[in-house]
Structure 1
Amino acid sequence: MTAIDLPFTLEVLIRLLDTPSPTGFTEDAVALVEAELRALGVTPVRTRKGALTWEVPGHRDGRKHVTFSGHVDTLGAMVKFIKRTGRVTLSALGGYDWATVEGEDVRLHTQSGRVITGTVVNIRQSTHVHGAALRTLQREQSVMEVRLDEPTGTADQTRALGIAVGDFVSFDARPRVTPSGYVKARHLDNKAAVAVFLGVTKALLEDAPAHTTAFHVTTYEEVGHGAATGIPPHTDELIAVDMAAVGENQQSSEHHVTLCVADSGGPYDHALGNRLRAASRHAGLELRVDLYPYYSSDGTAAWRAGGDYPVALIGPGVDASHAYERTHTDALTATGALMLAYVRVEG
């Protein structure tokens, strides 16, 4: 099977993961992708909404235009309130359980550009003070706060640091690549796919696809409307690339690429899915097939906004989605290989 440049893809992925980009605060991550594309000789275009699009011409240009869509925005939070103790409460950006971010290091991004670090804790964090009450505390927004890494004990002292209601808060991704090939981090959803997009683009520049191939990186997927606008108007087929959720009673795997045939928005296009199955067989890939009951994608957003094209969803298997996630380089390589195999099909 045709492979992406894995060291290049991983290097880009780690830098993307280390670049904060909660939904609504994605400028630095988009700029990083732009810089990588320009280094490859590609000139991307930003939409007015802040998304990024680029194309690689096919040698059978005009026959079919395939667009891959993925998102660079991640889960995060905003400052909701500054407490009299000087600590701040949060409002979630994206869907996650508060228990999955307890104890996580965060960065508060102030309007002045100053970044202040802190940690998400609950209001009864010390077991030596609260005993059993800590273990029975329901983790929800009302009991979570940020302990700032600055000497502050009042609301006025916190405001004097430049912190204000509405400031964005990013979670530390903590990316790691293990000797056995596992990639661990927050926000593999969906920076893994964006890094693969760059690996696939590099491969297509070296060996052109049969079909003109576009890439669309969105910035509001985690709140449901990422690809509602901006998909290239000449798109004949849209393939969303996002994480495949690994878990009990699921077929997705950290070592494989998955075709999601249905999620909370209903089934994806059957015929396009079958064309992807055929491409995977041709490339000698083991393609997993799965359904996700609590999931939606940029493809769903594009369809709901009136997109007149078939949509499919593929992606690398990711364990512990919306928490501290993990995938394997096998899944990244397989996802890139399926994308390359599909756009190089002559039919």
Structure 2
Amino acid sequence: MELSINKEFILSTAKEILEFDSPTGFCSEIIEKIRNIVGSFGYSFELTNKGCGIITVNGVSNERVIGLSAHVDTLGAMVRSITSDGKLKFSLLGGPIVPTLDGEYCTIRTREGKKYTGTFLSTSPAAHVYEDSSSKIREPKNMEIRIDENVFSKDDTLKLGICPGDFIFIDPKTTVTESGFIKSRFIDDKGSVSCLLGLLELFNREKIIPKYTIKILISTYEEVGHGSSYIPSDISEMIAVDMGCIGDDLSCTEYDVSICAKDSGGPYDYNMVTKLVNLAKDNNLKYVVDIYPMYGSDVGAALRGGNDIRGALIGPGVHASHGMERTHYSALENTIKLLYLYLNE
């Protein structure tokens, strides 16, 4: 199929939002950024009470309303306590692979908006000093954050305005390569958000009116399980657009759109999954069908919230989820194409 997908827009948008700090529970700033992007296309943008965004694209018919979702919240951390020598103990937001945090740069944001940089480290950080510097298990109780300020005591850190409950932003280290790879933390799920924004850019540029009205949910608490537990009542079917899993006995690669038949919450709607598979197959998209062994989605949250919907899950294949992730532009493109086909079939 031939679609004039704007590769430059998608990659630049992905880089911009990947570099934008938005750990789960701290998403108002990035939601405002997305509101501005969507507003430039002329689509309406509403906020729910808990800060999720709802974008409406009017279709030729209102006979059905199709929901799409992607989450803009990411993994992160929060200050738990301050040590006697002024370092920070932390509590995780979501489930990052903790050993990958050792040595990572971060930013601490106080309630007053001050920002201080720091580094996640093991409590045995020096090979020349600690016998267990390599072997100590990397988990929060054995780690702390070294702040880049002149602090020597708990009081010194408190005087900076840093307190328990302050958010900690993990440096995403976003890079887009000449060969089309995006490597960064938090491609889960900002890669999918970029897909949805790319779809809107296509609709706006080509003056495309979809067959049915679409409501796109940008959720802000997916990483802690209740991102789209509320959805508009007129949505009858919903596709969560979230990362495709790679590894073990799964078929997905960084070039595919992955169609999930089942995750830890159970099977997705049979007819929707079948339709997605047939559309991908008939249009020669690079796709796979997989079962995700340890995974939940915004559709799962919506169903647990009591919404009477059919649901499916697709997304670009992402390697090394919840660690140093990577995908390829072609996976984003295949995802956009499959969404377009589904919405206009």
TM-score bracket, normalised by the shorter chain, equals: over 0.9
1:81 is the counterpart of 2:86: no
State how far apart, in whole Å, the 2-side matches of 1:317 and 1:151 are. Answer: 43
**For structure 1, which segment, 8-17 or 163-172, has the greater mean C-alpha deviation from structure 2 after superposition?**
8-17
Q: 1:179-258 maps to which residues of 2 (within 5 A)?
A: 179-205=178-204, 206-229=207-230, 231-258=231-258
Q: Unpaired runs of 5+ in structure 2?
A: none
**Residue aligned with 2:29, SS:** helix
State how far apart, in whole Å, the 2-side matches of 1:3 and 1:119 are. Answer: 43
**Residue aligned with 1:135, SS:** coil
**Residue aligned with 1:64, SS:** strand
State how far apart, in whole Å, the 1-side matches of 2:341 and 2:296 are. Answer: 25
> Once the two structures are aligned, what percentage of the paired residues are identical?
38
Q: 1:90-105 maps to which residues of 2 (within 5 A)?
A: 90-105=90-105
* Contact residue 76 and residue 96 of structure 2 kept, 8 A: no
The 1:63–1:280 alpha-carbon spacing in structure 2 relative to 1, beyond 3 Å, is farther
State how far apart, in whole Å, the 2-side matches of 1:3 and 1:9 are. Answer: 12
State how far apart, in whole Å, the 1-side matches of 2:97 and 2:171 are. Answer: 16
* Contact residue 66 and residue 237 of structure 1 kept, 8 A: yes
The C-alpha deviation readout for 1:10-54, integer Å capped at 9, x for no partner, is: 111111111100010011111110110111122200111100011
Q: 1:1-347 maps to which residues of 2 (within 5 A)?
A: 1=1, 2-59=3-60, 61-131=61-131, 133-205=132-204, 206-229=207-230, 231-345=231-345
State how far apart, in whole Å, the 1-side matches of 2:262 and 2:191 are. Answer: 21
* Contact residue 99 and residue 138 of structure 2 kept, 8 A: yes
**Residue aligned with 1:35, SS:** helix
State how far apart, in whole Å, the 2-side matches of 1:158 and 1:21 are. Answer: 24
Q: How far is the alpha carbon of 1:57 from its aligned partner?
A: 1.4
* Contact residue 3 and residue 336 of structure 1 kept, 8 A: no
The 1:283–1:55 alpha-carbon spacing in structure 2 relative to 1, beyond 3 Å, is farther
TM-score, normalised to structure 1, is 0.96
Q: Unpaired runs of 5+ in structure 1?
A: none
* Contact residue 56 and residue 204 of structure 1 kept, 8 A: no
* Contact residue 225 and residue 301 of structure 1 kept, 8 A: yes
> Partner letter of residue 116 of structure 2?
I
Aligned length: 342
Q: Which runs of 4+ in 1 moved over 2 A?
A: 1-4, 281-284
TM-score, normalised to structure 2, is 0.97
Q: How far is the alpha carbon of 1:3 from its aligned partner?
A: 4.6
The C-alpha deviation readout for 1:280-316, integer Å capped at 9, x for no partner, is: 2343213200111111111111111111111000000
RMSD: 1.0
> Partner letter of residue 169 of structure 2?
S
State how far apart, in whole Å, the 2-side matches of 1:281 and 1:210 are. Answer: 21
State how far apart, in whole Å, the 1-side matches of 2:220 and 2:114 are. Answer: 23
State how far apart, in whole Å, the 1-side matches of 2:245 and 2:127 are. Answer: 34
